[in-house]
Structure 1
Amino acid sequence: MSTAASDARAGALPPVRRIGQGTMLAYAFGAVAYGVKDSGFGTFLLLFYNQVIGLPAATVGLVVMCALLIDALIDPAVGFLSDRTRGRWGRRHPWMYAAALPIAVGWIFLWNPPALSEPATLLWLFVMAVVVRSAVSCYEVPSVALTPELTADYDERTRIMAYRYLFGWAGGLVMLVAAYQVFLAPTPAFANGLLNRAGYANFAIAGAVLMAVAILASALGTHHEIKHLPRPDLRGGTLRSSFAELMATVRNRAFLVLMLAGVCAYTNQGISYALSNYLYSYVWGFRGATFVYLMFVLFTGVVLAFLFAPRAAKRFGKPRTAAVAVSLAMLFQTAPYWLRLAGWFPDVGAPLLIPTLFGTYILSTALNVSAFIIGASMMADVVEDSETRTGMRSEGVFFAGSFFVQKCTSGIGIFLAGLILAMAGFPEKATPGMVPVATIDRLTIVYGGIYLALAFTSALLFLRFPFGKAEHDARIARMAGA
């Protein structure tokens, strides 16, 4: 092999190294943008367009899921084009810088629909959902694709993902606290602040600013790494040959297993997000400050995942740890609803209700987020597995698939949540405490049953992942030796 060829090959393989703390924090801070978007989409979007604007819940869910079909085309296109971008700012940073303004503008429009007919308002929702999620894709896909480029170390990739999830959840929970305590807090005019339309406008502005700041700070904070990132050769060819390369990449077995496992896990998260305010307010009777305490409870679970996931994955292996985490999370997430139906759970207003619920929330959040962290780390490891099979490094394509799966949170999840509300016969603009018990029972039974089925399937799929640390390290050693 010639010296030039050796240099090119070395430039295409990231080093096995530990990331500096400054770079790590800057890189992870960018995930705040996705956390803000995800908490808004997942927690408030269905509620806003259903209970505030007055559109049918099932129809809102269908529209948001239809927007997901556009994402199925946009996400791989962004990943593929990012992989093929060349310039002095590398493959990822041009996309990251360019996404900040469109995300902020689209986010503000999403929460401020003009006075239109019902069909026109649904069209507005569809268009704005596509704009926001496409703009987020243009940032998040190239950004998260940096993970396997920054290091080839098997365990360091899990640590990177733990930081990203920590910051992503922190951003989302900060916006939730701000929503419950400031923007959507009860007022004399709105005893239930979640129905205050003007509050959503201010919520949108604050979220737009935070997302733009996080994106630009992360891009600037990792800019110095551009010169160290892999520089794989760019193959020429026609559009047809490029499409053939893309198909060869995504047929990777490990990639497909993670995609299917992620669809199940993130759809469950999406259903839980979309129904959260219904469950908190109408099933458990949460009021006022309880919502604020809840945010700290959830973040406690995220911190536990941040500490637990890298260590458990290193000791027990990524696939097994992810499968066990999903399975245990399933039990803690649904147990309160089954126990309530059996009459074995504290009643609304009982002193033990909130502490018991918060305990299960901490454990289920810690386990679910651990599974997400490990799954994302496994996706980073697929890059070299694919490279040995196809000769191409396709970080952008793989993480486009991973990001599309995460969008199932606000696509399929919201759609199913809308169907669950329709099946339960849940009324629009309902008052907490006034919904019939039979309706609440139907809501929790359908929710719990769907959650169990999806979580069980996800755990089985994680166990089907085809390789672990030994195979990955051997692969890296062979590639470095070549």
Structure 2
Amino acid sequence: MTSMTTRLRDRRLDDAPTRAQAIAFGASGFPTQLMAQTFSAFVVYFYVTHLGVEPTWVAAAMIAHGILNAVLNPVVGALSDRIRTPWGRRIPWIGLGIVPLVVAFALVWMPPELPTVGLITWFLVVVAVYDVAFVVVVLNISALFPEIFRTTDERARGNVPRQIFAILGIVLGTAGAPALYGSIGWPGMAIVLSAVCLVLLVWSFFGGMIERRVPEAASEAMRWSDQLKYTFANRAFVPYVLGSLFIQTSIAVVLAALPFYVRYSLGAAEGEASLLLGAIFVTAIPSIVLWSAIVRRTSPRAALLWSVAVFGIAMLGYMLPSTVLAAALVGVVVGVGVGGLLQLLEVVLAQIIDEDATRTGHRREGAYFGVNGFVVRGSVVLQAVVAAAVLTASGFDASLGDAQPDAVDGGIRVMVAVVPLVFAALAWLCFWLYPIRSRDL
């Protein structure tokens, strides 16, 4: 154990990461997205349908989960920037958080036999541990990205495996989890997915998560008041974080609207929404490579503007189809834009962090990723407001089944096509105001 901790303490990255290190670092995208997607997609269904907990109690617990997760992001980010150890700033957080994260994820799906109050208490406690560990691990992994990959070229190349792993994690969390709990039960699913996540996180931790030798690591940490002042006064960060909020809202609205779109506009089974999602994600994987090449030849700002434009305009295509196949073809074009967003958003944020370090003398990856994580959580609220407003205005009534008023089809098409375009346009405007126009500082 002493030998291992000594090696972790002494290893530092002095040159560009090797391909093996970049792939190992990128592998972290798979388990983190697998856990996040499985949790968000199935936890309410599990506690309400399988365990019989009252939906209002689960909804209240999920609200508490959302608030805790949002607040943790800036707090953990600021602490990560301030705390110095012989092992670095990020590595101790990640190393200490991996096992609690995986165990807490498994326990979410393995509650003991308890009455309703006991199940809600179990949910709140276990999910609180899961939230803390998830933010600690994922935020610090994100904070390592701008440090490991120092130039736009390195970041464009290094982010490719990470985002591809992330998409694969999303797909498995969406499609693989139901297959597992249907065949081996919920506890079996929890054990299998947790074991996979643990193996990949450990590989990523030892193979790709390496801090650099930076002078800031030995300097006095920035004061709390200065942290806030420099972050929210940053002329590049403010339009970026607002643009991120709008584009994440656009994506959230699309994901929420697709099941309604498939059933009530296309007249198909709700399960066929997976075909539309599949078209988007399958196209996004090669598109990540395409956008990596584009940003290396232009600049982060220019490439991001193009990707937002492609995404927003492609969304209008959902107004026209009358079949699932035609909608899936639209999804292919949407996936090109999604691939750009996945590839470029963190590349742009890394550039903001570089510029901030030049001005302040401090590298504050944790603060920026933390505040960004806090703000974009607002997309969940905006998505819920949009969905409720559109469905109510169009006269949607769940008790009517498939016999909805004619206005519902039009309202849902607006929700899946026009509303995302509006939010994408707002994001494009924010990113257009982004002041850093060079490829590297």
SS in 2 for 1:146: helix
AA matched with 1:246: Q
- Greater mean deviation of Cα atoms: 125-134 or 370-379: 125-134
Task: Could you tell me which runs of 5 or more consecutive residues in structure 2 were left unpaired when the two chains were aligned.
Answer: 1-11
Rounded to whole Å, the distance in 2 between the matches of 1:421 and 1:386 is 43
Rounded to whole Å, the distance in 2 between the matches of 1:369 and 1:106 is 31
* 277 and 184 in structure 1: CA distance in 2 versus 1, 3 angstrom threshold: farther
Alignment match, 2:116:
116
- Greater mean deviation of Cα atoms: 97-106 or 420-429: 420-429
Q: Residues 427-452 of structure 1, C-alpha deviation per residue, up to 9 Å, x if partnerless? A: 66996x46665545444434544323
Q: Residues 135-194 of structure 1, C-alpha deviation per residue, up to 9 Å, x if partnerless? A: 211111111111121132122112222322111111111222213545359xxxxxxxxx
* 309 and 438 in structure 1: CA distance in 2 versus 1, 3 angstrom threshold: same
Q: Is the counterpart of residue 26 in structure 1 residue 20 in structure 2?
A: no
- Greater mean deviation of Cα atoms: 203-212 or 307-316: 203-212
Q: Is the counterpart of residue 230 in structure 1 residue 214 in structure 2?
A: yes
Aligned residues: 426
- Greater mean deviation of Cα atoms: 362-371 or 403-412: 403-412
* 63 and 335 in structure 1: CA distance in 2 versus 1, 3 angstrom threshold: farther
1:254 aligns with one of 224, 236, 242:
236
Q: Is the counterpart of residue 465 in structure 1 residue 440 in structure 2?
A: no
* Higher RCO by CA contacts (8 Å cutoff, separation 6 or greater): 1
AA matched with 1:461: C
AA matched with 2:255: Y
* 456 and 295 in structure 1: CA distance in 2 versus 1, 3 angstrom threshold: closer
CA contact (8 A) 1:332 1:360 kept: yes
Rounded to whole Å, the distance in 1 between the matches of 2:110 and 2:257 is 22
SS in 2 for 1:70: helix
Q: 1:229, CA displacement in angstroms? A: 4.2
Rounded to whole Å, the distance in 2 between the matches of 1:381 and 1:77 is 22
Superposition pairs for residues 50-449 of structure 1, below 5 Å?
Answer: 64=62, 67-111=65-109, 116=116, 130-183=128-181, 202-222=188-208, 225-226=210-211, 228-236=212-220, 242-251=223-232, 252-287=234-269, 290=272, 296-336=278-318, 338-339=319-320, 345-346=321-322, 353-405=323-375, 407-408=377-378, 412-413=382-383, 417=387, 433=402, 438-449=407-418
Alignment match, 1:349:
none
SS in 2 for 1:469: coil
CA contact (8 A) 1:184 1:199 kept: yes
Identity within the alignment, %: 20
Rounded to whole Å, the distance in 2 between the matches of 1:99 and 1:145 is 15
AA matched with 1:232: E
AA matched with 1:261: G
AA matched with 1:133: D
